[in-house]
Amino acid sequence: MSSIKNIIMQNTSIVRPQYFFITGFHDIPHNFVIIYYIFLCIAFIVSVSGNSTVICIIFTKRSLHVPKYIGILNLALADLGESSALIPNLIKTFLFDSQYISYDACMANMFFVYFFGCLQALCLVVLACDRLVAICLPLRYNTLLTNATMSAMITGVWVADVVVIGTMTVLVTRLSYCKTIVIDSYFCDHGCLYRMACNDNSVNNIIANVCMVLFLHAPLIFIVLSYVCILFALFRITTWEGRVRALKTCVSHILVVAVYFLTLISTFIAALTDALHPNTRIFCLSLASVIPSMLNPIIYVLNTDEMKEFLKKMLHKKISRILPRN
């Protein structure tokens, strides 16, 4: 009975501020800020137009309704979601001095930024599975990886992401803020939010570490191991032409994985080896979130013959409609 009373007392004594203040950059030249936000605007336009194009191509072209492109479609959705959740708010917050954010809006911002960012990593794992089966078990590919199987994998990824990130967000709502409302980051960063709390945040620390393992360490380890298996499979191919042809099907995925993980890992390593200035941390982490969403559609379009041919045909049709015929 006493334990129930303690729980009720803890719940009723939670201090939730009406709003938070997101600090962003500290004392940097105005010209740099303008250049940075111009870049963010360009990155957002490229990301939205590029990922929307990839989604439209895959939806429109029936020959692309296969497991690999279902995975690419979901990666494009994740990229589009992260760009939309992060960049407009980032520009509005700092360029227009709108650094105050309501408590509920902050929780929503945190959920969607983390949800789509983690979804990117999980989609890369799904695409790694596709390449692993395609190269290591080519004769069984059509049996093992059907559209239904890929759709089930993607559904599982979305559900797992919602559960974990939703749990992380809900756990933040049990924290009290009686010391400060200043978030030393560029969005409603989970790490900053739970460290600011003045009550017990040990559970939040645990869920932060769980998310790090589930959405960074585990995906990277799985992808590396899958490519080790792919390399062994390539060595079993007798002809050099066959090895090159099989490896070409992995180039886009390898580039996307490198862009996603190298930007994040380099920032974390820099933070471990030397204390990063808050401005440097914000700049690096924001670029690590923005660059993959911008480059991924470009990489897949340029390295996929079907997408290039489709775009060429569409452009040719539009040009022929605009230009007068002789």
Sign of CA dihedral 56, 60, 65, 68: negative
Q: Which pair of tokens denotes residue 217?
A: 């360490």
pLDDT at 250 over 60: yes
pLDDT tens by residue, 146-200:
999 999 999 999 999 999 999 999 999 999 998 889 988 888 999 889 999 988 8
What are the chain's domains? 2-322 (1.20.1070.10)
Instruction: Give the predicted TM-score (pTM) of the model.
Output: 0.88
- Give the start-end residues of each E strand in the chain: 19-22, 100-102, 182-183
Pairing relationship of beta strands 182-183 and 100-102 according to DSSP bridges: unpaired
Closest by CA position to 305, among listed 63, 87, 113: 63
User: Is 99 in contact with 93 (CB distance < 8 Å)?
Assistant: yes
pLDDT at 80 over 50: yes
pLDDT tens by residue, 29-62:
777 778 888 888 899 999 999 999 999 989 888 8
pLDDT band at 1 (very low <50, low <70, confident <90, very high): very low
Q: Which pair of tokens denotes residue 97?
A: 């001095």
